[in-house]
Structures are given as C-alpha cells and as structure tokens.
Structure 1
Amino acid sequence: MMGHRHEAVEGLYAAFGHVRRPARVPGCPHCVAPQEDRPLLDGPVRSLPADALARYAAKAISTWGGAEEFRYFLPRLLECAAADAFGYPDPAIVFGKVAAAGWHAWPAGERAAIEAFLTAWWADTLERHPADPDAGTVLCCLGAARADLTPFLDHWGGLPDAGAVRHLREFVLYGVEWTRGPRLADAFWDRGSVAHRQVLTWLTDGGAATAVEAAFDAETREDVLGLLEELHAVLAAYS
C-alpha cells in the first residue's frame, strides 16, 4: 500500500504542477519578516526540507499568503504533514488549511488528486499497526480537510486486516470521550462539524458494532478475536 501512497503523492505533484511559482509570498508584517519567503522560492517545491516549510505551514492562509500561493506548495505540504514531518504544526492544522483554501471549488483534476491522496493515506494507515500518525489522527485530518468521511468509515468498517482492528480498538478506547457527550477526544476536531457527527453516528448507531460482529464471525486468530470482543463490549454499551 505504500506504493499506492507514493503514486498518490506523485499525482499531487502532477495535478498542481501547472501552478506557477509565486514571485513572493506576502505575509503579515507583524508575523513574517520581509525576506522570510525567499528560502521557500529558491528551488523546486518538492525539494523543500520539512523544517524550512514548517513555519509557512503554520501560518499559511491566516497570516502568510493566500490560496493561490498555498496551491503551489500544497503537494509538499501534504506530503510532509501526512508523514508528521513538521513537528509543529500538527498535521490536522495543515489539512484544515486545505479546507480554508477552498479546495472543494478547485478544478476537477486538483480535487481528484487530493481525494486520491487522502484515500491512499487512509488505506496505508489502516494496513499498518502501529502507524505514525495513527488512525485517529489521520481521521481527524480528513475531518479537518472537510472530506466526506462516509467512504473512509466504510473502509474501516470492512476491517480488512488485523491492523484495522487494532487501530479501531485504540480509537474506541482512547480516542472517544464516551461520558462527555460522547465526543472525539482529539482537540483538533471541530466538534460542531459534519465530520465529527459522521464519526459519532457511525460509532453509536450500530454501524461500527455491526462491522465488529461480522469480523468476529469470520475471524479465527485468538488474539484478534480478543480485540474484537473488547471492541464489541464498548460499542454495545453506547449503541
């Protein structure tokens, strides 16, 4: 699956390769030094080190540049954020800026490349356990990007392998504050968003519990059966 993610990254660079390098990336004079954009524009965007791009990633759209400049840097921004290569900002902050830049209104080819990247990143994450970032963080990033989470939750609900089961167990046990709403625990969730409601509905309306039951019936490995049994007990209590 890492090959699929690599292909999706290449798809981003291909889809956004037509975006011209900006002459400057203007910023708030109180937040960005006059020549601070120069290192961002001196070479190919895909060669930018993560540490050189991190400050822009944190300030983009809000106080440093607008949507057009952001589109130029987007492939490298998403590549680094998905690898959690910045340290700061958190990946969810970067994906939130994708939403703020208005990607849903961009040309079809650009939207398709972003959607393909999100899909490949999610599939790659579920396949590997442990994964960095983990599935809860990636799901939060998808929500921050204002993606429709239905296909991502459907994929997770298929519980295609033991990695997906382990990720779901961790998320259900540690990623949800069951007695406080319930609500998702990651502070980067917009708890008033459609995405937040989609996840909670999936967890509480029987969708996730049904998926766990189906996986239990098909599973033979004792360790995975134990995980599924633990999952079912928690989900059944709140469904």
Structure 2
Amino acid sequence: MSGWEAAVRRMYDVFGHVTRPERMDGCLHCVEPGPERPLLAGPVGSIEAAALARYAAKALNTWGGVAEFRYFLPRLLECAAADAFVYPDPEIVFGKLASAEWRTWPDEERDAVTGFLSEWWHETLRRHPVHPSMDTVVCALAATGMDLAPCLQAWSRLDTDAAINHLYDFVQTGLSGQRLTNAFWDRRSAAYRQLLTWLTGGPAAAAVEAAFAAETREPVLERLAAIHPALLPSP
C-alpha cells in the first residue's frame, strides 16, 4: 500500500466513528427537504462524486454544520483531491476545512487530516503531469490554513524531473510578475505571501541554480534556464 493509499484509508478509519446524521437541515430557500437521503443510504466511501457534489458546494454555508461535514469528510476530500466534482473546485472544498476550524478538532482527527494533506502534496510532487494541476493543489492546501513551509522545502530540492516540470509549469501559468494568478487565492493570507516569497524572493531561484549545477541533460538545463529569470528577486 502506498503512502497516499494509507493516508486515505486512515481518514476513513479515524472519521468512521462520526455518527451518521439522521437528517441534514439546510436553508429553506437553497435546499429542499430530503435531498440528503441518497447520501445517507449507504457507506460514506460508496457515495458517487456526482451525488456528493451539491453537498460539497453548500456544506457549512447553507446545508448542514460541522458534525455533518466531519461525517462526509473522508469522501469529500478524496473526491476533491481527484478533482472529481464538476463543481465545486478543489480549492473551495479544501477551504471548508478552515471554516470548520479543523485544527481545533481532537488530535487523532487533526493528525489524519494533516497526513492526508501531506501525502496529497507528495503524491502530486512525485508525478508529472497530474490532475488537478500543481497550481490547484498548492492553492487548495493553502486554503486549509496549513503551513506551506514543509511543502516548499520538499519542492526546493528539485531532485526529480517531476518537481522541475511542476515548477516550470507553475511559472508559466500560476505566476505573473509579483502575483499568483489562481482566482481562489486569498491575497491577504499568510500562505499567499509565503508562496510568493518563496517563488520571487530568492529561495526558488537558488533551488534552480543548485539544480542547474547538478544537471547534465540539455533539455532539463534549458527548462531550468527558461524559468530562472522569472524567479529572481526584483531589484
């Protein structure tokens, strides 16, 4: 079993104690009575993404509270990490963790969520191409309120082709000057400043320079050279 598979299984194990709701109240103008019945008819892990998508969009806002959110959490995060919902986007779903104040939950639950988020990052970093994109993944992780420092430390090693290609792609599509382009970023957040400082404040440029010095393959050298100027700190 891979680390990612183990992290997913642990989420189901840890949150398996959460009591199944008998009903889920929602805003009368937004959710008609009874739409939760198909979601509560069987095991959480068997819920189809298409059936769960409406709840994923409305959870904690106009449909259900934290108790219901914790009940569905393993399947919600599993589907969102696979970008299995047509809507909502992963950034929205993972952002609901912050709304639910997950870092105040019991230790075992916090550890399971942290392990899931960490393994999602490493699973993304080790493969290229991926879906959802690195741009989506890092923004979704930031939306949870987690510290991005361990993620950026791992990315800084640039010790695989996948890590280099992810940085190349991000510079092309996720970064514009001194701004991150994903519309879901909270530009006032600590995570936004943390990632932007890593990208344009020197650390990413230094990582590229170290990777360039250790590399011998011409195509990889060209790719590193292409992104280096965009990562240099502003004069």
Within 5 A, what are the aligned runs for 1:1-239? 3-178=2-177, 182-236=178-232, 238=234
In 2, Cα distance between the equivalents of 1:203 and 1:32?
Answer: 42
Aligned residue for 2:60, secondary structure, equals coil
User: How far apart, CA to CA, are the structure 2 residues paired with 1:193 and 1:63?
Assistant: 25
**Secondary structure in 2 matching 1:116:** helix
**Mapped contact 2:186–2:192 kept (Cα < 8 A):** yes
Output the CA distance in 2 between the equivalents of 1:196 and 1:113. 24
The amino acid across from 2:226 in the alignment is E
TM (norm. structure 1) is 0.95
How far residue 173 of structure 1 moved from its aligned partner, in angstroms, is 2.0
The alignment-based identity, stated in percent, is 58
Distance in 1, matches of 2:160 and 2:86, equals 30
Question: 1:196 is aligned with what amino acid?
Answer: Y
Question: Which ranges of structure 1 fall in alignment gaps of 5 or more residues?
Answer: none
Partner amino acid, structure 2, of 1:201: T
Task: Give the superposed CA RMSD.
Answer: 1.2
The letter of the residue matching 1:148 is: D
Q: What is the CA distance between 1:237 and its match in structure 2? A: 5.9
Name the CA distance, whole Å, in 1 between partners of 2:119 and 2:44. 22
**Distance in 1 of aligned mates of 2:115 and 2:211:** 27
Q: Distance in 1 between matches of 2:169 and 2:225?
A: 13
8 Å CA contact 2:39–2:51 kept in 1: the answer is yes
Q: Which amino acid aligns with 2:230?
A: V
1:15 Cα deviation (Å)?
1.3
Deviation of the 1:238 alpha carbon? 3.7
Deviations 1:96-134 (CA, angstroms, capped at 9, x unpaired): 111101101001111111111111111111111110011
Could you give the per-residue CA deviations for residues 68-96 of structure 1, whole angstroms, max 9, x where no partner exists? 11000000000000000011100000001
* Counterpart amino acid of residue 229 in structure 1: A
Summarize the Cα distance change of 1:238–1:87 in structure 2 as closer, same or farther, 3 Å threshold: farther
The answer for unaligned runs of 5 or more in structure 2 is none
In 2: Cα distance, 1:134 partner to 1:167 partner = 9
